[in-house]
């Protein structure tokens, strides 16, 4: 009898011309994109913030974080709330803007093939993959969170009320 192939339940998050592959366990919620409050003097990849379940969350544009064009929320855009992996009180969750509806992927050795290592060429990328015949990026969630912690700390030092507009969730 052959051993059963290990699978990991993931979500493929559509970006413009690419997709992110993240484990289901890190996704807290997906909802239609709504108003994002801009954040003054933030990096290009930080779109702004929104309020979700009483918390102000930073909103990341992964296209810009991966070296592409900064996108704003459109009619097909979704917000994916990510559970932070760090044990920080100042960053329990954050949001990622995606360009369509995320879909389930059962990642296994037969459905996912690693691409050539990127050797740190893109700071927010852990791996490039072939997934079900298409390209995907596994984000370096630790690197994203470390960058966001710096921004959240800056907001708190400035004492600004970086508001998220209407409550979501």
Number of domains in the chain: 1
**Residue 33 is part of a domain; what is its CATH number?**
2.40.50.180
Supply φ then ψ for residue 162, to 5 degrees: -70, 95
49 near 152, Cβ under 8 Å?
no
CA distance 73 to 76: 8
Residue 41 lies in a domain: yes
Residue 2 lies in a domain: no
Residue 3 lies in a domain: no
Tens-digit pLDDT profile for the chain (169 aa)?
555 678 889 999 999 988 999 999 999 999 999 889 988 888 999 999 999 999 889 999 999 998 888 988 888 899 999 999 887 788 899 999 999 999 999 888 888 888 765 555 677 888 888 887 788 999 999 999 999 998 887 766 665 444 444 555 5
Residue 102 lies in a domain: yes
In the numeric block, the tokens 């969350």 are attached to 57
């Amino acid at each position: 009898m052959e051993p059963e192939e290990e699978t990991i339940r993931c979500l493929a998050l559509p970006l413009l011309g690419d997709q992110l592959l993240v484990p289901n366990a890190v996704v807290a919620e997906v909802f239609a994109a709504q108003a994002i409050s801009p954040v003054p003097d933030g990096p290009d990849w930080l779109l702004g913030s929104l309020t979700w379940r009483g918390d102000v969350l930073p909103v990341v544009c992964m296209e810009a974080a991966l070296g592409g064009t900064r996108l704003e929320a459109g009619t097909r855009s979704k917000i994916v709330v990510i559970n932070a992996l760090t044990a920080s009180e100042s960053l329990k969750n954050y949001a990622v803007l995606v360009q369509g509806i995320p879909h389930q992927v059962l990642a296994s050795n037969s459905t996912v093939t690693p691409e050539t290592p990127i050797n740190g060429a893109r700071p927010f990328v852990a791996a490039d993959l072939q997934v079900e015949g298409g390209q995907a990026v596994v984000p370096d969630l630790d690197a994203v969170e470390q960058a966001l912690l710096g921004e959240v700390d800056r907001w708190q030092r400035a004492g600004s009320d970086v508001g998220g507009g209407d409550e979501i969730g």
